[in-house]
Amino acid sequence: MKKFFIGLAARLFPHYFIEKAYHFLTVPTQHRMRPHESLVLDNAQKSTFRYQNKEIVLYRWGNGRSKVLMVHGWEGHAGNFADIVESLMAKGEDYTLWAFDGPSHGASEKGPTSSFAFIGLVEQLVEKLSPDHLISHSFGSVATLLALGKNPKMKIERYIGITVPNTFRERLEDIAQMLGLPALIVTGLVRKIETLQNIKVDDIAVAKAAPKTGIQKALLLHDKNDRVLPASKTKTVAKNWPVATYKEVTKTGHYKILRSPKVLEIIRQFLDESSKKEST
């Protein structure tokens, strides 16, 4: 019933709802951090740098040979990878791990931002840190694969995408459906984004970008009953990407997948496999 009235109001006042939807895309909501996430971040080496007039917080754990950069999703933060950090750090001196809080996310400086600023930041960090491997979650997977698709000379040995959206238009449609907004709001929102960002929304497709990347081997993970992002999105990317393997899990959901013991083991094995090849 609530969505019905929202849809009716959106048809009567489309400009207002287009502006609200655009605000949703440019001003991320801050979510409370779990105590365990805070503890893991407190144990990291922290540094800051400027990106598009915002201070970005970068976290580092370990000083091992294999370098891994982790990219959180929209409205996420570096602490989302706390369990993955602990799992890989238990390997001793094998890994150097990095994570960051995106623009207006986590402990980084707040203010209006955009999905495109996030993509540019990932591109800059990959160039700066030269990681061997990448791990990303949700929209972080979009940012990572679009950034690398534009820069195929950036070589990555192993990539783990934990839930991977496909097209940007699908993201807009999913947001509209979640809020109960009609198709005319999506049309207006697309027009606004294309005008302000000077891009074509329908050109933004992860399934097209992923095969252009310099990633040598990829593992894409998704819970078959994910209620936030359907597993079909990740499957589509995997089907169009020859170096990718799709693996489905259950009983984790969109967020708990990042701390599921079985997923942590899958991640360890996939990265350890690369480390063993290097040492032989």
Q: How do beta strands 54-61 and 95-101 pair? A: antiparallel
* Number of alpha carbons in the 13 Å side-chain half-sphere of residue 264: 16
The residue extents of the domains of the chain are 31-166+205-279
Specify the pLDDT at position 13.
78
Q: What is the pLDDT of residue 143?
A: 94
This prediction has a pTM of 0.91
pLDDT at position 201, please? 86
Torsion of CA 43, 133, 227, 179, to 10 degrees: 80
pLDDT at 258: 97
For the record, the structure tokens of 5 come out as 């009235």
What pLDDT sits at residue 276? 57
The class (CATH top level) of 31-166+205-279 is: alpha beta
Length of the chain: 280
Q: What is the DSSP letter of 111?
A: S
Residues of the chain with pLDDT under 70: 1-5, 92, 275-280
**Cα–Cα distance for residue pair 110/106, rounded to 1 Å:** 9
Contact yes or no for 260/243 (Cβ under 8 A)? no
Q: What pLDDT score does 179 carry? A: 74
Residue 80 region, left (φ>0) first, then alpha (ψ -120 to 50), else beta? alpha
Cβ atoms 126, 150 nearer than 8 A: no
Q: What is the pLDDT of residue 7?
A: 73
Which run of H or of E encompasses 208?
Answer: helix 206-209
Question: What pLDDT shows up at residue 39?
Answer: 97
